[in-house]
Chains A and B, each alone.
Chain A
């Protein structure tokens, strides 16, 4: 007969003999997403499906929704290669992150410009950024919240991190949209059309027509009027479509999320895999192109596991440089009035 004092081994104990003693090491490629709205979750699902992190943390203030989103992702674990998915209102859950993606904040209403969102989002960031840095002092911060160039500046100021570790998603999405739309017109895949949109993410972004090419064949050489008002083919319209894209999608479905999510996952891949790929992202441009203030604008940046390792010196014409300078002035005009940074 069994003794009442005998302890029954659990299934786990009978099944498994431990070999490696001690606690397992911490994660090597932890990614945190701050904000579980549509954009945050689109970033999260894209990053998970691309099998980039070994741990994913979600943070938000709305606790029910946060827990629900975490559970919904966990339930798909069978199909993923990310063994740990956690979530909490408390930032301790983010500790040890290599990349922290900030999507928190209010979003554009229909017809609202990105610049209007500023002060609302600055106040939210004053709460978020110090906590991120406290728990992951060595992380790279990727800012997505709009207006992204200003919010990246705000993040840099609030974090105290060196500038190469604070990146704004910037014109990564604008350039992706540009390449998609141009490629459609030329009947090729977007990856085979090369074109860069730089500067401010939004209404005054700058399409660098001098660089637009397919297989190294420069389009401006084929059509010197490209991108101007004289252009009989009206290529300038394509850039306008890029600028209008977000407003159009917002008008149709209320918000945008899938494209931005995929573009952020693309950046995350370069950062976590140390690829040294070049992306048009928002970086601190003081000292370049005659810009003398602390502003963030998108330039072609080499991304690797230290963040922005270097910036490509684009050959821009006088008009393009003037536009960058004008954006810088507009952004600084807003930034200098922000309180308590």
Chain B
């Protein structure tokens, strides 16, 4: 007796192994990893999603929960395994694995714990997807992007840190609230270290090309009656505040990562503030990763936009670079 499937369906081609064209792997199925996964799936960016983690039960549960939404998605294959073979042929690997900040803890404190985890993860990624682009999200992201770059042996265009993409998004949101405009119409760039010493480039802040600093020359200084400097301070404190209230942050970082994934997979050449190797720029002498505006495409990070920074802004970048290098040179890789 022929089965239902045999009666219903006639197979008309010779089977060949099908290789996914826009596969994304998310390493780490914590709150951040899953927020990235759901954002990427709902935005229909990928034809295959792989999840990896070390906690097998949770990993399988998350995979099943996403698969059960298959009717509502346009991603026909969702896989998960502790073993990295399930990640093979990824175009893009998003690394969210690692310890996260406790309440009040700075990102820099997480370093050595996360370096050890990366020593396991990165070679495994490379083994199964030697041509992929690695997008590092785990904190402290600038240092860990450096670590991922060193451990992978990849050229620098294929190792990117999510960096200040989220800081800039938060800045633009707060700017929009202040001006009663949608964030996408408020332009402002936060660069440098993703964290306490990020740099808001006030000279570039504009709406419809109108420079706000020209309208208010005190903007960003302590003399400013409108206290725009507080907007940047709020950006820096955002993560700590949300962590204090709900224990962690997930949704905003997830959406900002999906935004980067979209630009890369769709080869859009949009400019994003993400973490890249900035040695030789803005007076930085060491091999450190900091966020600057970068052109992203299907080759990864192909170009950097050269910002005209004021001397105190460059000074801040160099100071961040020094801090990061101070930590990096002690790392055993």
Q: A71-B238, A223-B4, A252-B64 are in contact. Are A176 and B245 (CB under 8 A)?
A: no
State the main secondary structure of chain B at its contact with A.
Answer: helix
Query: Is there a chain A Cβ closer than 8 Å to B210's Cβ?
Result: yes
User: Is A72 a contact partner of B66 (Cβ separation < 8 A)?
Assistant: no
Which one of A10, A77, A214 contacts B173 once the chains associate, using CB atoms below 8 Å?
Answer: A77
Q: Which residues on A sit within 8 Å (CB–CB) of B178?
A: 12
Complex Cα gap A241–B39 (Å): 27
A329 contacts chain B at the CB level, 8 A cutoff: no
Residues of the A chain whose Cβ atoms lie less than 8 Å from the Cβ of B170: 75
Given the contacts A222-B7, A252-B60, A10 and B226 also touching, CB distance less than 8 Å: yes
Judging by beta carbons under 8 Å apart, are B215 and A46 in contact?
no
Query: Which residues in B have their C-beta under 8 angstroms from that of A49?
Result: 38-39, 42-43, 255
Q: How far is the CB of B298 from chain A (nearest CB, A)?
A: 20
Residues of the B chain whose Cβ atoms lie less than 8 Å from the Cβ of A158? none
Across-interface contacts of A217 in B (CB, < 8 A)? 8
List chain A residues, Cβ under 8 A from B254.
Answer: 45, 76
How far, in whole Å, are A65 and B245 apart by their CA atoms in the complex? 5
- Residue of chain B at shortest CB distance from A235: B4
Whether B68 and A15, one on each chain, are in contact in the complex, defined by CB atoms closer than 8 angstroms, is no
Interface residues on A, range: 35 or more
Chain A residues, CB < 8 A from B7: 222-223
Q: Check B1 for interface membership: any CB of A closer than 8 A.
A: yes
B179 adjacent to A12 (CB under 8 Å): yes
Contact A253 B65 (CB under 8 A): yes
CB–CB A80/B255 < 8 A = yes
- Is B25's CB within 8 Å of the partner chain A? no
**A258 is an interface residue with CB less than 8 A from chain B:** yes
Q: Is the CB of B252 within 8 A of A72?
A: yes
Binary interface encoding of chain B residues 195-206 relative to chain A, with 1 for a CB under 8 A from any of its CBs, else 0: 000000000000
Q: Is the CB of A191 within 8 A of B219?
A: no
What 1/0 mask marks residues of chain B from 250 to 261 whose CB sits below 8 Å from any chain A CB?
Answer: 111011101100
Question: Cβ of B66 and Cβ of A76 under 8 Å apart?
Answer: no
User: Which of these binds chain B: A123-131, A179-187, A310-318?
Assistant: A179-187
Partner of B64, one of A80, A245, A262: A245
Q: Are A79 and B246 in contact (CB under 8 A)?
A: no
Question: A11: which B residues are within 8 A, CB to CB?
Answer: 179, 212, 215-216, 219, 226, 228
Q: Bound complex: CA of A85 vs CA of B301, how far in Å?
A: 33
A80-B255, A186-B9 known; A75-B173 Cβ under 8 A:
yes
The yes or no answer to B79 lying at the interface (CB within 8 A) is no
- Of chain A, the residue at the smallest CB distance from B178 is A12
Report if B70 contacts A (CB, 8 A).
yes
Partner of B166, one of A10, A75, A173, A263: A75
Distance of A291 Cα from B65 Cα, bound (Å) = 34
Interface bracket on B: 35 or more
Is B249 among interface residues, defined by CB-CB distance under 8 A? yes
Within 8 A of A (CB), among B215-255: 215-216, 219, 225-226, 228, 238, 241-247, 249-252, 254-255
Instruction: Scan residues 39-69 of chain A and give those whose CB is less than 8 A from a CB of chain B.
Output: 41-42, 45-46, 49-50, 64-65, 67-69
| A177 pairs with B252, CB closer than 8 A | no
Which chain A residues lie closer than 8 Å to B210 at the CB level? Answer: 15
A233 within 8 A of B: yes
Name which of B134-142, B180-188, B281-289, B308-316 contacts chain A: B180-188
**B242 adjacent to A262 (CB under 8 Å):** no
Give every chain B residue within 8 A of A75 (Cβ-Cβ).
166, 169-170, 173, 238, 242, 249, 251-252
8 A Cβ contacts from B3-58 to A: 3-5, 7-9, 34-35, 38-39, 42-43, 57-58
Instruction: Report if B69 contacts A (CB, 8 A).
Output: yes
In the complex, the answer to whether B183 meets A249 with C-beta atoms within 8 Å is: no
* Interface status of B76 (Cβ within 8 A of chain A): yes
Q: Chain B nearest CB: distance from A261 CB in Å?
A: 8
Q: How far is the CA of A254 from the CA of B62 in the complex (A)?
A: 10
Q: Given the known A-B contacts A78-B184, A79-B259, A262-B73, are A249 and B61 also in contact in the complex, defined by CB atoms under 8 Å? A: yes
B214 shortest CB reach to chain A, Å: 9
Complex CA–CA separation, A187 to B313 (angstroms): 57
The chain A residue with its CB closest to the CB of B251 is A72
- Give the complex CA separation of A274 and B249 in angstroms: 34
Interface residue B299 (Cβ < 8 Å from any Cβ of A): no
List the A side residues contacting B120 at CB < 8 Å: none
Q: Give the contacts of A4-33 with B (CB-CB under 8 A).
A: 8, 10-12, 14-16
Q: Are B226 and A45 in contact, with the CB atoms below 8 A?
A: no
| Given contacts A11-B219, A68-B246, A256 and B65 within 8 Å (CB-CB) | yes
Across the interface, A76 reaches (CB within 8 A) one of B180, B243, B255, namely B255
Do residues B72 and A253 form an inter-chain contact, with CB atoms below 8 A? no
Given the interface contacts A15-B207, A46-B42, A266-B72, does A77 sit within 8 Å of B176 by beta carbon? Answer: yes
Bound together, the chains give a CA A65 to CA B242 distance in angstroms of: 9
Task: Tell me if A76 and B246 are in contact (CB < 8 A).
Answer: no
| Distance of A72 Cα from B172 Cα, bound (Å) | 14
Whether, in the assembled complex, B67 has its beta carbon less than 8 Å from a beta carbon of chain A, the answer is: yes
Partner of B8 from the list A10, A219, A245, A265 (CB cut-off 8 Å) is: A219
* Chain B residues positioned under 8 Å from A74 (CB to CB): 173, 252
| Set B38, B180, B246: member contacting A72, Cβ < 8 A | B246
- Distance in angstroms from B170 CB to nearest chain A CB is 5
Interface-central residue, B61, B76, B184, by most chain A CB under 10 Å: B61
Q: B58 touching A72 by the CB < 8 A rule?
A: no
In-complex Cβ contact of B65 among A71, A179, A226, A249 (8 A): A249
Within the complex, the shortest CB–CB distance from A281 to chain B, in Å, comes to 14
Between-chain CB contacts (< 8 Å), 21 pairs: A11-B212, A16-B179, A49-B255, A71-B238, A71-B241, A72-B246, A73-B252, A78-B169, A78-B172, A78-B184, A78-B256, A79-B258, A176-B72, A179-B71, A214-B9, A222-B4, A222-B7, A233-B4, A253-B57, A262-B72, A263-B69
A→B interface (CB under 8 Å): 8, 10-12, 14-16, 41-42, 45-46, 49-50, 64-65, 67-69, 71-80, 83, 173, 176-177, 179-180, 183, 185-187, 189-191, 214, 217, 219, 222-223, 226, 232-233, 235, 245, 248-254, 256-259, 261-263, 265-266
**What 4 A-B pairs are tightest by C-beta distance, nearest first?**
A68-B245, A252-B61, A253-B61, A68-B246
